[in-house]
């Protein structure tokens, strides 16, 4: 199967590192022109400089309506929108403030809704488009230490399914990708916040999975490129009959046949 995205333009939000950067690289490898997004123009350019492919800078703070407008003004139309931007962190469930709840909703959910509203009409008019939301196993198996994060990722599943219905019979597909525990720099910090900081990384990773993610059938953290593989497929013409779905790249973490 050859996934060819030549002639397509993609925007990947939060793509200067981690899963977002891997997705940008994967889409470019398949032939797409990929807009890299982050709040810092310098960081966006540094990411583009270290990747191979055709890229466009799309700096802007998507957590605000003003920042979103800046990105859309610079990039009025896209064929593929990957809503990857997100934040996470552990907090005591009884001390999460109202402001923290709002922040997680604003960053993880509303930023994606704004961009979907901005780009979906153009996709529908063109008769082709792909919208994706990077969700998480935490949307289904909500961790006690990250209720606020789980809430935001569960909301993305609803957003994705709803917008898929809004694109019925248009040639546009909308899906979410449920990413399991993934190896990124931020996750390394998170792992070491929960296990012995003196352990070498490979031991720390195994200990984290054993103690805090024992449901995983993979038994290791997922690499960002493995998430990107699913995203690239869903962005391709070969995935034309897949829409309204929540597709799992979770290493078997979620103990369910569906979603």
Q: Are 78 and 11 in contact (CB under 8 A)?
A: yes
Average pLDDT of the residues in 200-218: 92
DSSP-assigned beta bridge partners for residue 80: 10, 130
Closest among 134, 139, 227, 123 to 173, alpha carbons compared: 123
Distance, CA of 139 to CA of 60 (rounded, Å)? 27
Active site residue 149: yes
Say which range, 111-115, 190-194, 196-200, has the weakest mean pLDDT.
Answer: 190-194
How confident is the prediction for the chain on average, in pLDDT? 96
Question: DSSP state, 237?
Answer: G
The CATH architecture assigned to 9-181+224-247 reads 3-Layer(aba) Sandwich (3.40)
Verdict on whether the full-model pTM lies above 0.85: yes
Residue ranges per structural domain of the chain: 9-181+224-247, 183-221
Q: What is the pLDDT of residue 173?
A: 98
Q: What is the pLDDT of residue 1?
A: 82
Distance, CA of 211 to CA of 206 (rounded, Å)? 9
Q: Are 134 and 227 in contact (CB under 8 A)?
A: yes
Tens-digit pLDDT profile for residues 148-170: 999 999 999 999 999 999 999 99
Say which range, 141-155, 162-176, 180-194, has the weakest mean pLDDT.
Answer: 180-194
Tokens of 127: 């008769």
Residue of 104, 119, 133, 149 marked active site? 149
What is the widest separation between alpha-carbon atoms in the chain? 55
Angle at the Cα of 15 from the Cα atoms of 177 and 204, rounded to 5 degrees: 75
Q: What is the pLDDT of residue 189?
A: 87
């Amino acid at each position: 199967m050859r996934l060819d995205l030549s002639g397509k333009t993609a925007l990947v939000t939060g793509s200067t590192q981690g899963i977002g950067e891997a997705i940008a690289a994967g889409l470019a490898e398949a032939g797409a022109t990929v807009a890299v997004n982050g709040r810092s123009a310098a960081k966006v350019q540094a990411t583009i400089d270290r990747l191979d492919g055709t890229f466009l800078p799309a700096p802007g703070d998507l957590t605000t309506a003003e920042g979103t407008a800046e990105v859309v003004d610079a990039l009025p139309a896209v064929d593929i929108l990957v809503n990857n931007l997100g934040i996470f962190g552990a907090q005591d469930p009884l001390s999460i403030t109202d402001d923290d709840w709002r922040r997680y909703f604003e960053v993880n959910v509303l930023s994606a809704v704004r961009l979907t509203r901005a780009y979906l009409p153009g996709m529908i008019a063109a008769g082709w488009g792909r919208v994706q939301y990077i969700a998480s196993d935490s949307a289904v198996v909500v961790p006690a230490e990250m209720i606020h994060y789980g809430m935001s990722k569960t909301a993305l599943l609803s957003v994705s399914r709803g917008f898929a219905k809004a694109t019925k019979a248009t040639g546009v597909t909308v899906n979410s990708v449920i990413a399991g525990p993934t190896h990124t720099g931020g996750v390394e910090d998170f792992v070491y916040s929960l296990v012995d900081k003196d352990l070498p990384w490979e031991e720390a990773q195994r200990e984290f999975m054993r103690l805090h993610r024992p449901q995983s059938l993979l038994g290791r953290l997922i690499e960002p490129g493995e998430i990107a593989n699913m995203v690239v497929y869903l962005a391709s013409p070969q995935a034309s009959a897949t829409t309204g779905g929540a597709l799992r790249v979770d290493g078997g973490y979620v103990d369910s046949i569906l979603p």
